[in-house]
Amino acid sequence: MSMFRSHWQAGAQTLLAVALGLVVGAASAQAVPDAPTRQALKVCQDPNNLPFSSTDAQGFENRIAEVFGRELGLPVTYYSFPNRLAFIRNTLRYKLPGEDFRCDIVMGVPAGFDQVSATKPYYRSSYALVFPKGIGLDGVKTSADLLALPPARLKKLRIGVIDRSPASDWLARHDLTDQGVPYPMMNADPAEYPGQIVERELIGGKIDAAIVWGPIAGYFAKRVQGKTELIVVPMQSEPGVRFDFAMAMGVRYGESAWKQQVEGLIEKTRPEILAILREFGVPLLDDLPAAATR
């Protein structure tokens, strides 16, 4: 894909991969011949990374995998590894002598992610601003609306962001660095999960708003309904800061037949995939073909 050709775009892709936990080691991408007849759909996943995946198969990537398993007539199995350093090397590429690979597909990677053979994208989303209703931001419908707030109000906001993400770049670009509350890109504790910035920090009142990857914002906004009402506002890309990204699936290099089969499944089950994404509150951007060819 061409959307990440520039140096800055490549950096943004890496940051998104980090946000998803897809941090890889330095292992080379070796060609692997297509596998023989499959006995199961073997999925690589993080065991604690909602809304994407979990050990009890409650993430939207789990749900999509189950749809694929049904279409293939295969049981779905999972090989779990915390999405920290060297995730791809320890899942998709992990194989001991005399054994098969532990898993054969990663259900969500940035389009063009070069540590895997990425499929065509199947959804596009963006980072989103999320904040509680009733704190004086209800009129904010776009990132421009946020910037148009009275300076005195804007300067009082505490906005949680993942450090070194497009959100932190955006704050710096608009002279709002002092309003940013940075959270680490990675945490070594496998019990930690990205949605805590919304579910714990925002709901707990430690911050007034957060700018996080859209699927995280949408899912946790729905998850806390009944406790509080959160508003989710997709952020708009601008020169120098990209917020929107297309997402694909990843297989090993050299497995072209398997990749084509996965892409066929994406096309065949697209209505079901979109219904699942909407159920999980994923902010969806509708011009996927244009985004995929940038």
For residue range 197-210, what is the model confidence (pLDDT) as tens digits?
Answer: 999 999 999 999 99
As a whole number, mean pLDDT of residues 152-175 equals: 95
In a domain, 239, yes or no: no
- For the stretch 254-279, pLDDT in tens is 999 999 999 999 999 999 999 999 99
As a whole number, mean pLDDT of residues 23-29 equals: 46
At 224 the pLDDT is: 86
Q: Are residues 103 and 77 in the same domain?
A: yes
| Residue 269 near residue 71, CB atoms below 8 Å | yes
Question: What are the start-end ranges of the H helices in the chain?
Answer: 7-20, 60-72, 87-90, 143-147, 151-156, 166-173, 196, 214-223, 256-268, 270-279, 288-292
In a domain, 1, yes or no: no
As a whole number, mean pLDDT of residues 170-182 equals: 96
Q: Which domain holds residue 138?
A: 126-234
Reported pTM:
0.86
In a domain, 240, yes or no: no
Nearest to 121 by CA among 235, 277, 239: 277
Q: Where residue 191 sits, what CATH number does that domain have?
A: 3.40.190.10
Q: How many domains does the chain have?
A: 2
The percentage of the chain sitting over the pLDDT mark of 90, rounded to a whole number, equals 76
Q: How far apart are CA 172 and CA 151, in angstroms?
A: 16
Residue located via tokens 């941090």: 23
